[in-house]
Amino acid sequence: MSQTAIIAPKTILERLEILADAAKYDASCASSGTTKRSSAGGKGIGSTEGMGICHAYAPDGRCISLLKILLTNHCVFDCHYCINRKSSNTRRARFTPQEVVDLTLSFYRRNYIEGLFLSSGIVKSSSNTMEQLIEVARILREEHDFRGYIHLKTIPEADPELVARAGLYADRVSINVELPTVAGLTRLAPDKSATQIEGAMTSLKDSIVEAKDARKRFRNAPKFAPAGQSTQMIVGADAATDSDIVGRASTLYGSFGLRRVYYSAFSPIPDASAVLPLKRPPLMREHRLYQSDWLMRFYGYAPHEVQQAAGADGMLPLDIDPKLAWALQFRGDFPVDVNRAPRERLLRVPGLGVRAVNALIAARRQRRLHLADVGKLTVSVAKVRPFIIAEDWRPLLLTDRADLQALIAPKRSEQLELFAS
């Protein structure tokens, strides 16, 4: 391949357009869960307060919390699902580390963002690219005393020492597992290796745990990625079922101490590779996976229980949420008495969230709860009713009715698939 034409240097505005566009397929934009910092006392700029802030929302419903860009979208890798792959016909651009720093600070001072989420295509070598990413974080932290949020995407193929340095500047580090199955990864990301990705995630986890330990003993021990590590899986680009994905996610949470697993519904990209499916999976599928993720993290469901909510084809139903699907399959576990049942059982009732369960438990210490009381604490008592017993309510045969799903499932909204032909 030859570089024949000399391309005129692009303006900051043009490059921002290209490099933000190239970064947008990463779902994560979280800026929460890090240590509390502020610039009170007249030093530095910025603060973090535990809870992240979404400074805007795009019409895709996603939160804009961080300046999410690539340092460059030139890439020597050729991953089929990626718009920046070597063989893609996309426009290319690059920022210098200083340019990213200036952009971050001028956005931050105007209160547009919580900080920076920086990633990059691989240029020259993985280690060289990683060094550039770290340099941006270093300038922000050391030269500008920046106390906002920094999320660095780390490159699994880079020198482990560099990855370790990234954690000293960043609040969060992440490595994308990309695809739920190794077969998918081999087929769609031929330059990446599952072993290498997992190896890098393990060493990040070790560094995070080690630094936490050290800080328990020495107050001044350096912090290492205080907001932990996360990862992303692309859904719908390979043949993995929801059941596969749920299994994989729970392994990831377990083995690598991840804070979050993000699911990104594969979306058609310009100049797509012929190996990819043309149409995206329904966005609802991504939503159902997040719901099942929540069930495992906050509702005490074991991975195999979430998998039980899936149909014979291993897919979670799209028309009802996984919690309701599980309840419909295990009707013997219901109804649950809101005045006596333990917390774990109450959390299984479709329509009762964590907050509602907390309120019910606090309220029932005061007096016996009637159906009307439950109604005041939930969004829809009609949905909850078949699964509970209250002081003045017993569902009788309702729980066993064959058409229960039709009675409580939301009316199917055609908007789910606005673009389906």
Instruction: Please report, as residue ranges, which positions from 367 to 386 form the binding site for other proteins (by CB under 8 A).
Output: 367, 369, 372-374, 376-377
> What token pair was written down for 241?
């079922």
As a whole number of angstroms, the distance between CA 109 and CA 67 comes to 13
- Out of 6, 8, 111, 403, name the contact with other proteins by CB under 8 A: 111
Using CB under 8 A, which residues numbered 69 to 88 contact other proteins? 69, 78, 80, 86-88
Contacting range for other proteins; rule: CB under 8 A; set: 8-16, 192-200, 206-214, 226-234: 8-16
Using CB under 8 A, which residues numbered 236 to 255 contact other proteins? none
What's phi and psi for 227, nearest 5 deg?
Answer: -90, 10
Strands of 107-204 (E only): list them: 115-119, 149-153, 172-174
- Out of 8, 40, 397, 420, name the contact with other proteins by CB under 8 A: 40
Cross-strand partners of 235:
265
For the residues of 233-281, what is the DSSP string, one character each?
Answer: EEESSSS--HHHHHHHHHHHHHHH--SEEEEEE----TT--TTS-SSPP
How many residues lie near other proteins (CB under 8 A)?
A: 82
Of 163 and 269, nearer to other proteins (C-beta) is 269
Using CB under 8 A, which residues numbered 154 to 193 contact other proteins? 187, 190
Q: Kindly state the helix (H) or strand (E) to which residue 231 belongs, with its residue range.
A: strand 229-235
- Out of 6, 7, 8, 59, name the contact with other proteins by CB under 8 A: 59
- Out of 123, 168, 272, 318, name the contact with other proteins by CB under 8 A: 272
What's phi and psi for 384, nearest 5 deg?
Answer: -80, -35
Contact status: 49 vs other proteins (CB under 8 A): yes
- Out of 6, 7, 8, 274, name the contact with other proteins by CB under 8 A: 274
As a whole number of angstroms, the distance between CA 275 and CA 55 comes to 37
Contacting range for other proteins; rule: CB under 8 A; set: 34-42, 128-136, 245-253, 329-337: 34-42
Per the CB < 8 A criterion, the answer to whether 81 and 266 are in contact is yes
Sheet holding 260-265, edge to edge: 66-70, 115-119, 149-153, 172-174, 229-235, 260-265
Q: How far is the CB of 88 from other proteins (least distance, A)?
A: 8
- Out of 63, 123, 214, 315, name the contact with other proteins by CB under 8 A: 63
- Out of 35, 98, 106, 255, name the contact with other proteins by CB under 8 A: 106
Q: How far is the CB of 20 from other proteins (least distance, A)?
A: 4
- Out of 107, 224, 263, 299, name the contact with other proteins by CB under 8 A: 107
Contacting range for other proteins; rule: CB under 8 A; set: 55-63, 126-134, 248-256, 313-321: 55-63
Q: How far is the CB of 359 from other proteins (least distance, A)?
A: 4
Helix (H, G, I), strand (E, B) or coil at 99: helix
As a whole number of angstroms, the distance between CA 385 and CA 391 comes to 12
Q: How far is the CB of 372 from other proteins (least distance, A)?
A: 8
- Out of 56, 209, 302, 396, name the contact with other proteins by CB under 8 A: 56
- Out of 75, 101, 103, 173, name the contact with other proteins by CB under 8 A: 103
Per the CB < 8 A criterion, the answer to whether 126 and 169 are in contact is no
Of 63 and 168, nearer to other proteins (C-beta) is 63
DSSP state of 183: H
The closest alpha carbon to 173, from 253, 251, 53, 258, belongs to 258
